[in-house]
Amino acid sequence: MYNTPASNRLHIGIFGRRNSGKSSLINALTGQKIAIVSKIAGTTTDPVYKAMEILPIGPCVLIDTAGIDDEGALGNERIRKTYQVLRKTDIALLVVEPDGILSELEHSLIKIFNDKKQKFLIVRNKSDLHRDNVAMLKKLDCVSVSSLTKQGIDELKQKIINIAPPNWTPVPLVRDIISKKNTVVLVCPVDSAMPQGRLILPEVQVLREILDANSCALVTKETELKSLLHSLKVKPDLVITDSQVFELVKDIVPENIALTSFSIIFARHKGDINTYIEGVYAVEDLKDGDKILIAEACTHHIQPEDIGRVKIPAWLRNYTGKDLKFDITAGGEFPDDIARYKLIIACGGCMVKRNEIQFRIEEAKNKNIPITNYGIIIAYISGILNRVTAPLEKGVVKINKRLMEKISIKGGKHGRQDSHSR
């Protein structure tokens, strides 16, 4: 991992009507010809992403989008893609015409920004073609720029810096649940789903945060875990495993050693762990023919041992004894109509922005659809949800004890939850 992942970059979305100068603006901000610029309306079709650095913010992604006034069936699909970008945007730039007159489309976008509490700036492009109307600029609180002459570009960058959130990933991975000089064991299975020659992103990110916390990390496969633990003179403070080997690891790691998983860590880092815990109880009410949505947040090559498409469906059918139906979505796609599902199971979301996962959670809540994630549901049906969420209690996000108390009544393994005390 030589570059900052896109999921850890500040996302700046550029919105506006066709030919308002969105593509020329992204080129001016990056100092490169990233986006195609043309007088022909509708040149930009799918969103264009460009990673860059804006100091002192750091790593960013600029997103050029299709015009919100696009036309026809294809245009409507482009507009849908444009609005999808809002789900991952930290700061929105609304590019308006040089005359500063806002149409109903711009006003509707501003309303969306305000409703979402979305940080945004109004950018009047093509200032080289029209003299500045000082009263108009003040009224709109917008920045006047010229992508051609670069006038106002530095001012725009400064305004982006001024409104950028100080921390757009507010929930840590592990630095709030470990201490300096702690020893943490990472259990990383090497199977067909493991990328050639490297670890997967969640493992890399957790490892880096352990190092940043001035703690010690030991990395092993599940097959070598027992011998590693026996070789240590002092027991580790925490074991973090891949969720799909819970059944093996839970029996190897003694009860007096804290245990959790990468996916459960990401459940609170990117998602809402209490909502996920509440959602997992829907498993007990599933019936033959019920539909479940597996919501992956990235696209990847499908392997025979794929966790979301193969293992979780098999485990759930075995656990419930029901003939369950599964739909899969991947990448930025998330169904508009989720009412047909009895349960949504989300991945950890390591490859996408936190606000994309938050959007999916809010959509599920609004339509009263239970939602959980990979690690939570695997721990639940393995009967160890109490145990593997216990290490998170000392963290910045507090787990709802009322939800956890339900486990002893309605828990995984049909009520036979572990006896780990909370």
Confidence class of residue 103 from pLDDT cuts 50, 70 and 90? confident
Instruction: Let me know if residue 320 belongs to a domain.
Output: yes
| Nearest in space to 52 (alpha carbons), one of 10, 87, 92, 23 | 10
Q: Is the pLDDT of residue 387 over 70?
A: yes
CB 294 within 8 A of CB 328: yes
Q: Is the pLDDT of residue 419 over 80?
A: no
**Tokens at 172, concatenated:** 């840590």
Segment 228-242 mean pLDDT: 96
Comparing 42 with 360, which gets the higher pLDDT?
A: 360
DSSP state of 233: S
What distance in Å separates the CA atoms of residue 416 and residue 245, rounded to the nearest whole number? 19
Q: Does one domain contain both 21 and 103?
A: yes
Instruction: Let me know if residue 170 belongs to a domain.
Output: no
Segment 209-234 mean pLDDT: 96
Q: Does one domain contain both 291 and 247?
A: no
The DSSP annotation for 21-49 comes to SHHHHHHHHHTS--S---SSTT---S-EE
Among 202, 230, 264, which residue terminates a domain? 264
- pTM exceeding the 0.85 threshold for the entire prediction: no
Confidence class of residue 73 from pLDDT cuts 50, 70 and 90? low
Comparing 406 with 204, which gets the higher pLDDT?
A: 204
Instruction: Let me know if residue 175 belongs to a domain.
Output: no
Q: Does one domain contain both 158 and 11?
A: yes
Q: What pLDDT is recorded for position 342? A: 97
From first CA to last CA, the distance across the chain in angstroms is 37
Q: Does one domain contain both 245 and 278?
A: no
Q: Is the pLDDT of residue 147 over 90?
A: no
CATH number reported for the structural domain that contains residue 405 in this entry: 3.40.50.11410
Confidence class of residue 188 from pLDDT cuts 50, 70 and 90? very high
Instruction: Let me know if residue 37 belongs to a domain.
Output: yes
What distance in Å separates the CA atoms of residue 222 and residue 239, rounded to the nearest whole number? 11
**Tokens at 73, concatenated:** 């069936």
Phi, psi dihedral angles at 213 (to 5 degrees): -85, 5
Question: Which residue type occupies 275?
Answer: T
Comparing 244 with 56, which gets the higher pLDDT?
A: 244
Segment 185-189 mean pLDDT: 96
Least confident of 31-45, 230-244, 317-331: 31-45
Instruction: Let me know if residue 86 belongs to a domain.
Output: yes
Give the helix/strand (H/E) hosting 77: helix 72-85
Give the strand order in the sheet containing 119-124: 48-54, 58-64, 10-16, 91-96, 119-124, 142-144
What is the overall mean pLDDT for the chain? Answer: 84
b/e for 312-322, b at 16 or more Cβ within 10 A? bbebbeebbee
**Tokens at 92, concatenated:** 């929105």
Q: How far is CA 1 from CA 310, 353, 391, in A?
A: 27, 18, 28
Q: Does one domain contain both 231 and 366?
A: no
Q: Does one domain contain both 40 and 78?
A: yes
| Nearest in space to 172 (alpha carbons), one of 356, 8, 336, 27 | 8
Number of structural domains in the chain: 3
Q: What tens digit of pLDDT does each residue of 286-316 get?
A: 999 999 999 998 766 667 678 889 999 999 9
Q: Does one domain contain both 86 and 203?
A: no
Confidence class of residue 164 from pLDDT cuts 50, 70 and 90? confident
Instruction: Let me know if residue 28 belongs to a domain.
Output: yes
Q: Is the pLDDT of residue 371 over 70?
A: yes
Residue 228 belongs to domain spanning: 183-264
Q: Does one domain contain both 192 and 77?
A: no
**pLDDT over 70, % of the chain:** 82
Confidence class of residue 75 from pLDDT cuts 50, 70 and 90? low
Q: Is the pLDDT of residue 343 over 70?
A: yes
CB 295 within 8 A of CB 309: no
Q: Is the pLDDT of residue 137 over 60?
A: no
Segment 360-371 mean pLDDT: 94
| Nearest in space to 17 (alpha carbons), one of 86, 117, 102, 84 | 102
